[in-house]
């Protein structure tokens, strides 16, 4: 029986089941949206309606923005004038991936009615501390305490944030103010959420060293306004650390210009004052970022800074780049193959050889397929670097698309522009596969403004 089914049945089970919950609650009912669809304790304790329906009681949680690896005490106070028994559950998740807990919980002392539970797939989980292979962990009541009716109760939980900053975090707490009769009726449920930001100081060591820059899709020389680029060097992150931008890093819906304590500044044609690039990924030797809008072509100056804006901030030597082009068209690939990043249009069905991407399948003649790339120039409407295209944004320039030996008619190019919902450096082309022609790994090219995508890029057609 699943956890969800068990929790739903608690309303009609004998009190023995309820007493089990007072000793050790079922996992996943703190309100996190990726746990049972965001359910909380009111799944069972619902006589008075959803959580927070009764305003006579309250849940107060004291938790602060985090400094990496610096422990804090989280205080959880629940009260109701008719309650004499209390319970709670808390979990803290990465905003960028709310299926993952972050940091570690601990109990403040051996007598506290608090326990740590690790999600091992069972209903109640296993006791903490949780190992690194545990995706979700919780702190919760143990043997729900009772006391004087109407007197607030405080649970204290120790929480140590992750060793490295990982963007914003989300706290979820659900609490029960119960009458102690061993039944789910007559109880009140309250919930709490809060977003935590990193307030720790950056402390990357050494001096970053820039080596070279490449197109972020083809990994060949050449970039253009708004194109994705890969910057290579050393000292951009701690060794062995990969930092990927996600929801917890976005600023006003845009990619961050500082990620994992690193920033990249450029000047160039039409960009007289240094601007920071939106960053999608960083590790010790590579940064994936998006160039700004330049006017014309010419030299671009680039600097990488670690610990930006802090007293210990240090920058690489400025580098002069002479690879700015009017266009730098390139396909993203399913590496290490030369298969173009593609999917059946309007779906998540990947178009690729299954040997290159598990679960993928080839395209068929007549299919409408989406191809993805970068470096294709301005669009209407214009979407600034780092922002996500909220809808269709068509290319200003005219493209020529060839699949095998067939140059597509305009009617077979259904869309050419930014990929909706993605960073503005990602372009999407919805094309109809020719109904006749070669099969197998078929070469594809897109040309714009005298520039062409990289040679050897293919899609499988059968």
C-alpha to C-alpha distances, 321 to 140, 231, 276, 326, nearest whole angstrom = 55, 11, 16, 14
Q: Which domains does the chain have, with CATH numbers?
A: 3-196 (2.60.40), 209-321 (2.60.40), 330-461 (no CATH)
pLDDT in tens, 300-358: 999 999 999 999 999 999 999 999 999 999 999 999 999 999 999 999 899 999 988 99
Which of 333, 218, 231, 372 is CA-nearest to residue 290? 231
- How many Cα atoms sit within 13 Å of 384 on the Cβ side? 9
* Per-residue model confidence as pLDDT tens digits over 387-409: 999 999 999 999 999 999 999 99
- Amino acid 84: pLDDT: 96
What are the tokens at 40? Answer: 């909380």
CA distance 343 to 371: 7
Q: What is the DSSP letter of 282?
A: E
Q: Is the pLDDT of residue 10 over 90?
A: no
* Burial of residue 239, with CB atoms counted within 10 A of its CB: 0-12 exposed, 13-18 middle, 19 or more buried: exposed
Residues contacting 114, CB < 8 A, separation 6+: 107, 108, 139, 140, 141, 142, 155, 156, 157
In 3D space, the residue among 394, 383, 453 whose CA is nearest the CA of residue 424 turns out to be 383
pLDDT at 81: 97
Task: Render 25-70 in DSSP notation, one character per residue.
Answer: PPSS-B--TTSGGG-BGGGTS-TT-STT--TTSEEEEE---B-TT-
In the predicted structure, residue 18 carries a pLDDT above the cut 70: no
- pLDDT at position 176 over 60: yes
- pLDDT, one tens digit per residue, over 411-432 is 999 999 999 999 999 999 999 9
Cα distance between the two ends of the chain = 43
- Identify the helix (H) or strand (E) that includes residue 273: strand 271-276
Instruction: Annotate 283-318 with three-state secondary structure.
Output: CCCEEEEECCCCCCCCCEEEEEEECCCCCCCEECCC
CB burial readout 2-33, b (16+ within 10 A) else e: ebbeebeebbeeeeebbeebbebbbbbbbbbe
pLDDT tens digits, 100-134: 999 999 999 999 999 999 999 999 999 999 988 88
- In eight-state DSSP terms, residue 74 is E
In the chain, what percentage of residues exceed pLDDT 70?
Answer: 96
Mean pLDDT confidence for 91-105: 95
CA distance 152 to 15: 25
């Amino acid at each position: 029986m699943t956890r969800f089914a068990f929790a739903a049945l608690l309303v009609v089970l004998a009190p023995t089941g309820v007493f089990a919950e007072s000793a050790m609650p079922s996992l996943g009912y703190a309100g996190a949206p990726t746990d049972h669809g965001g359910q909380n304790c009111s799944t069972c304790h619902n006589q008075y309606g959803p959580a927070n329906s009764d305003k006579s009681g309250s849940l107060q949680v004291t938790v602060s923005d985090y400094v990496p690896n610096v422990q804090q005490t989280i205080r959880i106070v629940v009260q109701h004038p008719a309650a004499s028994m209390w319970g709670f559950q808390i979990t803290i998740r990465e905003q960028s991936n709310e299926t993952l807990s972050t940091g570690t919980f601990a109990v403040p002392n051996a007598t506290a009615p608090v326990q740590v539970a690790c999600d091992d797939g069972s209903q109640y989980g296993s006791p903490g501390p949780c190992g690194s292979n545990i995706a979700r962990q919780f702190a919760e009541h143990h043997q729900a305490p009772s006391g004087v009716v109407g007197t607030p109760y405080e649970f204290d939980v120790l929480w140590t944030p992750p060793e490295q900053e990982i963007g914003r975090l989300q706290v979820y707490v659900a609490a029960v103010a119960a009458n102690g009769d061993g039944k789910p009726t007559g109880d009140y449920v309250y919930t709490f959420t809060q977003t935590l930001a990193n307030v720790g100081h950056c402390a990357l060591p050494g001096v970053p060293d820039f080596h070279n820059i490449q197109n972020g899709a083809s990994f060949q020389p050449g970039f253009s306004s708004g194109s994705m680029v890969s910057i290579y060097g050393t000292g951009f992150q701690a060794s062995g650390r990969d930092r990927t931008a996600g929801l917890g890093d976005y600023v006003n819906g845009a990619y961050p210009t500082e990620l994992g304590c690193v920033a990249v500044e450029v000047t160039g044609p039409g960009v007289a004052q240094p601007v920071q690039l939106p960053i999608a990924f960083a590790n010790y030797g590579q940064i994936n970022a998006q160039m700004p809008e330049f006017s014309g072509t010419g030299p671009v100056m680039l600097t990488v800074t670690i610990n930006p804006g802090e007293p210990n901030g240090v920058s690489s030597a400025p580098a002069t780049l002479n690879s700015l082009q009017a266009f730098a068209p390139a396909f993203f690939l399913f590496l290490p193959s030369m298969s173009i990043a593609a999917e059946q249009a309007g779906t998540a069905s990947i178009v690729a050889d299954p040997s290159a991407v598990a679960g993928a399948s080839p395209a068929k003649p007549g299919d409408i397929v989406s191809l993805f790339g970068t470096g294709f120039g301005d669009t209407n409407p214009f979407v600034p670097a780092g922002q996500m295209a909220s809808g269709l944004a068509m290319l200003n320039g005219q493209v020529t698309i060839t699949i095998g030996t067939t140059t597509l008619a305009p009617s077979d190019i259904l869309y050419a522009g930014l990929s909706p919902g993605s960073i503005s450096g990602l372009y999407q082309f919805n094309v109809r596969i020719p109904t006749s022609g070669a099969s197998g790994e078929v070469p594809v090219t897109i040309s714009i403004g005298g520039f062409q995508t990289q040679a050897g890029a293919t899609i499988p057609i059968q």
